[in-house]
Amino acid sequence: MKKHVLGMVMVLAALALPTMASAGEISCKMKFGVSGWSAFYQTAEGSGTVTCNNGQSMKVHIRVKGGGLTFGKSKITNGEGKFSGVNNMSEIKGHYANAQAHAGAQKSADAQVLTKGNVSLALSGTGEGWNLGVAFGAFIIE
């Protein structure tokens, strides 16, 4: 009897697996670092690595572009990002909407959530620098 029940569970799991995989999202995370400056125009560049739970990974180039009433210089060295709404790793690259209000000096920490269609990116990190202002722009992953 136990073998029969175990066999039925294995068959049901095998039937459900393709459905779950095709409809499910993959979990992807990014480790990154960026540095830049702002004086009305905000710019920063850096690099990172994205890894997903399906075994895929890729190196990425990051650019931050924007503008507003903003002044400063900053460097994030321990950045982490977590993606949601990703079905395929190719969906990660692109322009994410970015809006922020900031004020800081010396060592600092920051967190924000960015969006690109159905894909969201939650960012956090620590770094150093100084900044003050309000900026709007894009967080670009290439």
Taking phi first (over 0 means left), then psi (-120 to 50 degrees means alpha), and beta for anything else, what does residue 85 get? left
**Structural domain boundaries, residue 32:** 25-141
**Which of 64-68, 85-89, 109-113, 136-140 is the most confident on average?**
85-89
As for how many domains the chain has, the answer is 1
* Predicted pLDDT at 32: 92
Global confidence as pTM: 0.74
- 141 three-state secondary structure: strand
Are 30 and 49 within 8 A, CB to CB? Answer: yes
- 15 three-state secondary structure: helix
Confirm whether 11 is domain-assigned. no
pLDDT tens track for 70-111: 667 878 888 899 999 999 999 999 998 876 665 556 666 667
End-to-end CA distance of the chain: 56
Confirm whether 17 is domain-assigned. no
Helix (H) or strand (E) holding 80: strand 57-84
Confirm whether 29 is domain-assigned. yes
pLDDT tens track for 103-135: 556 666 667 888 898 999 988 888 787 666 666
Say whether pLDDT at 9 is over 50. Answer: no
Confirm whether 98 is domain-assigned. yes
